[in-house]
Structure 1
Amino acid sequence: MRGFYILINILLFIFVLSNNSMVLSQEGSKEPLAKLWNIDNDEIPEYLNLERKLILVDGILRPLLDNDNFGGTRIDVIHNRIFINTLNFTRADEIKNLTQINQYIDLLEFVKVFYSTTKLKSNLGGISNLSNVHNAYCLGHIDVEFNNIVITSCDEDISLNEKFFTAIKIYEPNPILNFHRCNAGINNNSSNDIGPKIVVKQVVKEILAGNGIYSPININGSTFFLTCSAGFWARDQANINYIATTGHCFVDSDLFYLRELIDPSDLIGQMIYHLKNPDFGLIQLNLENVRPIACVINRNSRQYTELIIDDHIAVSSIGAHLCHSGQTTNVECGYLKALSGDGFFKIRIHFTDDVLIVSAWSRKGDSGGPVFYFKRSYACKSEWFNNYEC
C-alpha cells in the first residue's frame, strides 16, 4: 500500500539512532519528530523521555491484560498517557491495585470499548480471507485507537475492491474504510536533495541508508530505471560488504547504480541474493566505487543530513514513533499502528500477514529504505556534533 509504510517483519531491523544524531536548533525547518508531535525542535528530548517511560510501563502492563476483557493498549506521548481499551472494569480495578502497576497509575487511562482483542482478531482473520477470495488491493489492521478493523485502499483501486467492500459488511463492527490518492504527486523536496556525496577526489562515493539505488530495465527496446532505496550496510563472516534492500527491486538486471545512468563509475554492485517472500535482497558492494556509511540520510533537515545508527531494537508499543528514510519521500515519521499478526497486506497475488504498519507516508521508490527510532537527542553545539563528541 502506497499510503502507509508497510514493513515486512521477518527480516526487519528497527535501527536506533545514536545520541549524536540530532542536534537541536530552531533555525530552519522542523525536524521530522517535531513535525510528527507538533512541537518545537528543542522540546524533542523532553518528549523522547516521556515516550521511553510510556513504552517501559506499557511493557509491564500488557502481559497482565487478557484478550477477552481488554482490547489492546496504545501510548500517547502528547497526552503522556497509556490508553487501555477495557470491557471489564472489575478486572481493570484489580490490575490498578497490583504493586507493579500502582506506582504508574497516573499514566494509565482505562477507556470503555465494546470489542475485545479476541473479537477483533477473529474479524481480522475473516476479512483477510475475503481479501484473497475477492483479489483485493488493500491493507488491513486492528486499530486500537478506533477499536475496529481499518481497511486502507487507494482511490485508484476502489472499483477493484467493490466486491470485497461489500463482502466485509457482514462483520460487526463494520470495518472503517480509509482511502488515499496514492498516485498524487508529493512536495517533499529539500535544499539538500542532492546526489551521493563524493569524496576522495570524486573517485569513491558514499552510500547511506535511504539513498536511492537504480536498476536498469528494458521496455520495448528502451532502457528505464527502477528506483529503490538502500536499506542498511551489512558484512558477512568473510568480511564481504553488502547493502540490504527489498527483493522486488530485482527485475531485469541484477546490477544497481547510484544514478539513473549506466556508468561503470556509479556501479554500486550486483544483487547476489533476492527473495520475494520475505521481500529481501543483498547487493554485494563494489568498494572501488562506493563506500558504505553507517548513517541514515536525512535530506529533510537543513543542518543535520546524516543520522548515526547506534543499534537495532524490537518494537512492541502501539503509538510509539517510527521513522523511515527513502529516496522519494526522504524522512517521514509516524506512529506504530499494528504489530505482526494484527494486520495484512494484499495486492495482486501477494498476501502477507507478517507486517508492521506505521502511519508514515511513503511512495514508489522508498522500497528498501531503513526504518528507525530516535533513541535520545541532546542540545549540543554544532562543532561538537560535527566531531561526534556529544
Structure 2
Amino acid sequence: MVRAQFEPLAKLWGVKNEKVPELLNREAKLIMIDGKLQPLLNNSYFGGTYIDVKVNKININTVDQSKVKEVKNSLQMKEYKNYLRFKKAINSLSQLKSTFVKIVKLAQKYNINSKIGIEPEANNVVIYLKDKNDPKNKEFIKNVKFFKPKIVYSSKKKKGKMVLNSFNSSTLVEKRQINQIVFGGDKITANYGPCSAGFWMKDQFQQDFLLTAGHCAYPYNDTSPKLFYRYYSNLAVLIGSMENYMVTPVDVGFIKKLTVNSHIRVVPNIRNIITTGVVHPIYVEYLIIGSVDIISAGIHICKSGFVTGITCGYVKSLDAVITIRRGSEDKIGGLITTAYSYYGDSGGPMFQFSYTIPFVYAVGILIGGRSNSYEAESYCEPIRTAFEYGYTLVHYPH
C-alpha cells in the first residue's frame, strides 16, 4: 500500500498510516496560523508558542492573562481563535531571550560541551549536558542555577547496539563503468570516518555539490585533498573533493562532484533506509520538491542517515547554540529535535513530509545528536545556511 511510505511519521504520531495525510494537512494549517499569530504576541506578555497536531491546537505561553482577549479578537485571529490554547506561564519570551544569552556566555566561559535552546513547551531555557560530575560542568551548573534553567543530563542507561559497516579501501572502484546515484542518507566516507550524504546543490556557475556536515572533513589541519566516496553494498565510487567547509559558527561542507570521468548521477532523492545498509524493499526513495524554513516548535521533522535510517521527531527549539568540543565549535542557529540518530548519520538530510507522497521538503542536515533506547535529540543545521553561502537546492522538477 502506497501510504506505507508514511510509516516513520505514523510511528511518531501514534496513528495508522492512512491518518497521516489528514494530520499533515492539519499541521500545515496550524503552521500558517502560527505564522500570523507570532507577530501579534508582545514578548513581554507571552512566552512563545508550540503546536500540538494531535489535539489541533497552538499552545501560547501566557504571562499576562489580560492580553488574551486582545489576541483572540484581533482581525488576524478572529476566524482562528478555536485553534488557540492559552497556557499560564512564568517566563516571557523577553526574559527567556535575555537568560539564553547569559547562559551561552557562561557555557563559553567554562568551555563545556552543551546544547542550549529556548524550548517553548518547557517555557524555559533548556541545557543538555553529558556528564553531571565533570568538574567544568559542576562549576558551570553552580553558576547557572541563578537563572533557573532546565538541565537535562545524558542517560546512563544502556545504549541500543548499532552495527557499522566496515570500510575497506580495496573496494574503491573506478573500473565499473556504471552510473552511481548518490541519494540523501547514503553512506559517504573520507579520512574522518563514515558520514551520510545530505542534499545535492548547485553553485552560481551551475556546478554540482553534495551538501553534508562540515565536521566530516576532520582532521581540519590536514591540507591534503578531502576526497569523499559513496559507499554502499561493498562498492565505493569517488564523488569528489570537499573544497569548502565550515565547522563554526555553522556546520556545513560542500563536496564538488567530479566533472571528468565521473559516474555519479545527481538525483534529488532521499533513500528510504530502514536500518544500517537496508533499504525499504518497495518504497525505495522520497523525492525532494523544495525547502521550508522551520518557524514553529512542536511540528514534525525527519532525518535519513545510513546507520539508523529514517526516523522522525518533534522540533523542540529554534535558534539553539550547540557546542561540540572537537576544538571550539559553536553551532549557532541550529534546531534541537527529538529525532533518533547515531554516529555515522552526520550530514544526512533532515526534511518534512508533504501530504502528497512520495514528496518531501528539505529542512537541513544532521550535525550531531544524543540518542539511546529511551530518549533522543538530534541537531539540525538549517538548509538556509547553504543558501546564504550562494548555493541553490536541486529539486524536482529539475
Equivalent position to 2:305, from 318, 326, 335: 326
1:106 is matched with 82
Q: Is 2:264 aligned against 1:290? A: yes
How big is each residue's C-alpha offset from its partner over 1:192-246, in whole Å with a ceiling of 9 and x where there is no partner?
xxxxxx9xx8722211011110013xxxxxxxx6111111112334442221112
Number of aligned positions between the proteins: 335
From 160, 164, 180, the counterpart of 1:205: 180
| 1:24 Cα deviation from its structure 2 partner | 0.4
Whole-Å Cα distance in 2 between the matches of residues 188 and 92 of structure 1?
A: 52
Alignment partner of 1:350 out of 329, 337, 343: 329
For 1:73, the equivalent position in structure 2 comes to 49
- Match of 2:196? 229
Structure 1 residues 86 and 205: CA distance shift in structure 2, 3 A: same
1:140 aligns with 2:116: yes
1:215 pairs, out of 163, 175, 190, with 190
Q: Does structure 1 residue 59 correspond to structure 2 residue 3? A: no
Please tell me the residue identity of whatever aligns with 1:358: T
TM-score (norm 1): 0.78
364-373 or 179-188, which deviates more: 179-188
| 1:160 to partner: Cα distance | 4.8
For 2:102 and 2:59, the matched residues in 1 are separated by 27
Per-residue CA deviation, residues 161-205 of structure 1 (Å, 9 max, x unaligned), is 22212221111x34332424599344599xxxxxxxx9xx87222
Question: What does 1:192-341 correspond to in 2, within 5 Å?
Answer: 203-216=178-191, 226-250=193-217, 251=219, 252=222, 253-259=225-231, 266-277=237-248, 278-286=250-258, 288-300=262-274, 301-340=280-319
Alignment match, 1:360: 339
Partner amino acid, structure 1, of 2:269: C
Contact 1:153 1:180 in 2 (8 A): no
Name the CA shift for 1:353/1:157 in 2 (closer, same or farther; >3 Å). Answer: farther
CA distance in 1, matches of 2:183, 2:335: 23
Task: Please say if 1:48 is aligned against 2:52.
Answer: no
Superposition RMSD in Å: 2.9
Distance in 2, matches of 1:77 and 1:366, equals 27
Distance in 2, matches of 1:354 and 1:140, equals: 11
What is the match of residue 154 of structure 2? 179
Residues 242, 282 of structure 1: 8 Å contact kept: yes
Q: Spell out, residue by residue over 1:52-97, the C-alpha distance to the aligned partner (whole angstroms, 9 max, x if none).
A: 1111111111100011100001010011110000011111111111
Quote how far apart the aligned CAs of 1:289 are: 2.6
What SS does the corresponding residue of 1:208 show, helix, strand or coil?
A: strand
- Check the 8 A contact 1:155/1:182 in 2, yes or no: no
CA distance in 1, matches of 2:271, 2:350: 12
Q: In structure 1, how many angstroms separate the alpha carbons of the residues matched to 2:162 and 2:84?
A: 39
Measured at CA, do residues 134 and 63 of structure 1 come closer, stay the same or move farther in structure 2, by a change above 3 Å? Answer: same
Q: Which amino acid is the alignment partner of residue 95 of structure 2?
A: K
Q: SS of the counterpart of 1:25?
A: helix
d(CA) in 2 for partners of 1:93, 1:188: 55
Distance change (3 Å), C-alpha of 1:186 and 1:297: farther
For residues 238 and 113 of structure 1, do their structure 2 counterparts lie closer, same or farther at Cα, with a shift above 3 Å needed? closer
**Residues 304-346 of structure 1 deviation map (CA, whole Å, 9 limit, x = unaligned):** 1200000111110111111111122211211111222xx2112
Give the letter for the 2:300 counterpart: H
TM-score if structure 2 supplies the norm length? Answer: 0.77
Answer yes or no: is the 8 Å Cα contact 2:132–2:138 preserved in 1. Answer: no
The answer to whether the aligner puts 1:91 opposite 2:62 as a matched pair is no
CA contact (8 A) 1:137 1:157 kept: no
Pairwise CA distance, 1:157: 7.6
Q: Is the 8 A contact 2:177 2:263 kept in 1?
A: no
Higher relative contact order structure (alpha carbons within 8 Å, sequence separation ≥ 6): 1
State the Cα distance separating 1:378 from its structure 2 match.
5.4
Q: Deviations over 1:254-299 (max 9, x none)?
A: 1111239998x62121112222233222212236232122101111
Which segments of 5 or more consecutive residues in structure 2 lack a partner in the other structure?
A: 165-172, 275-279, 359-395
Aligned identity (percent) is 37
Q: Is the contact between residue 255 and residue 271 of structure 1 (CA under 8 Å) also seen in structure 2?
A: yes
CA distance in 2, matches of 1:208, 1:32: 18
Counterpart-to-counterpart distance in 1, 2:233 and 2:57: 50
Pick one of 31, 38, 41 that aligns with 2:14: 38
Q: Retained in 1: the 8 A contact 2:118–2:318?
A: no
